Structure 1
């Protein structure tokens, strides 16, 4: 009897996988508006956009690849067992693919952007260490929150715009850990979720945690500055001042955008090298190859001046495990 039920379950599971895959590989609907080709493509790219005419993330990045990248995240010693999964990532990404996240340009560019974004995520949520089983780079998404916060991360300077809720701690949480009341407030406004009163939502909902991280990736930290997405996919053109500051498009500039002088302009620091190593590791696992990452000045921000000086930010250099 148990075998019978198992067979029925497996049949249903295979059917669901087939249906999902069929939906993900659906051909885009196309229309032309003012000479510009626009497309929609199922649930994953449902807004009319030039980017939806390209392959969506699930076309080239599937569940088994996610498992390969984060192979140790559900190990018994991991701190967020059962929290992070492929479905949550794709569901969150669907909100931004029509804006170009993972869909800007050809498949190769999309794969590199996903590897770059997840490289940051993996390094910031890792509990890997030198002799860890599978190697230190296999332990991304081990955490979903800071385990032993040393303070509440409440900045009273923002008491009129993002006032701290009494008794609430704004320590690091998420895929790109969010710190401080003003960052929870800003992120919550963008996502239309009350994170100022309930920052714990980020550690309770993996889709929301990924969504907050992708929003940060896609959004400039300040006006008149590019986003991490822009500097990576080539939508940003450096000014003369950028060139003098040795800021060039590429993965290195994404670290500059997200972390500023916490990571950049300090030579080949251990912190910067760890982030870079995750990106290269993921490029290999996704079949792109680390040789596609570019030369040292593109791959790193060792010599780049920061876009803006930082102290603590939404993606603090402090690991979520600290």
Structure 2
């Protein structure tokens, strides 16, 4: 009887732990908050939808559906949340607590807003109120076909101009990102201007993924996962928002001094921090990249 009672107590304890959504696995606490995380160490943290709501998305992108917007009725909150949920188990918006999560969302969307903006200083609401105006490049300056790339060759009749939430250019980059999100973007780059969820997914994949071995991702340099080497410090590369621009754009933005292009991206990030209730005073250190040496000089790698 005693053994049966002990067994019953153990079963009840196990049931209670399961009901609480917590268990111990290999010495690491694993939580289930009701979102798909499969035992990720980020499961105990809030999901992005817990702290970033639809009304905030509407405030950040207040004019995206105006008559003047070129992608009206394309972008929406649910598309972003659906795409973001795929990367929450890897730490997107779930690293370092709620404030860091909100700052990361503001940082990522700051890039998105700046890169898809049709805003200008005299526009209603100012130049930072017009993010998600575009979903593709309207007047491509070239074909963006690199015939020398054998791994991701150009497909006849397909054009590789800029598309998406953080626009992708060139056949090889469509091939790389397509492989990352398991979509045939090399043959069908148009998917990024037809499906907002895929467009956000491609952009978040780029944010979360290093472009080369032994290099950090934009996520890593922003949330503090990355520790600069001696070569990085000599190249004036330090963790912070500035380094996210270096990872994503290299010397197209960074190492050029205090340029309008760089400051335009920073202004979106800080404006979004204000709208999300975090405040630009929490922008973090190393905000710009005006004197950073590029991780990947443009002479070595075709720009995204």
Please, what TM-score do these two structures have when normalized by structure 2? 0.91
Partner of 1:249: 239
Q: Which aligned pairs between 1:1-322 and structure 2 lie closer than 5 A?
A: 29-43=21-35, 45-158=36-149, 160-295=150-285, 298-310=286-298, 312-314=302-304
Q: Secondary structure at the match of 1:243?
A: helix
**In 2, Cα distance between equivalents of 1:188 and 1:42:** 28
- 1:54-92: CA deviations, max 9, x gaps? 111011100000000000000001000000000000000
**In 2, Cα distance between equivalents of 1:79 and 1:188:** 25
CA contact (8 A) 2:115 2:166 kept: yes
Extract unaligned runs of 5+ from structure 1: 1-26, 315-322
Q: Secondary structure at the match of 2:37?
A: strand
**In 1, Cα distance between equivalents of 2:40 and 2:213:** 24
Aligned length: 284
Q: CA RMSD in A?
A: 1.2
Partner of 1:22: none
Shift of residue 28, structure 1, vs aligned partner: 7.6
**In 1, Cα distance between equivalents of 2:180 and 2:60:** 29
**In 1, Cα distance between equivalents of 2:255 and 2:187:** 36
CA contact (8 A) 2:255 2:292 kept: yes
CA contact (8 A) 1:97 1:103 kept: yes
Q: Secondary structure at the match of 2:38?
A: strand
CA contact (8 A) 2:254 2:293 kept: yes
**In 2, Cα distance between equivalents of 1:308 and 1:229:** 17
Please, what TM-score do these two structures have when normalized by structure 1? 0.86
Q: Secondary structure at the match of 1:37?
A: strand
Extract unaligned runs of 5+ from structure 2: 1-18
Shift of residue 46, structure 1, vs aligned partner: 3.4
The structure with more radius of gyration? 2
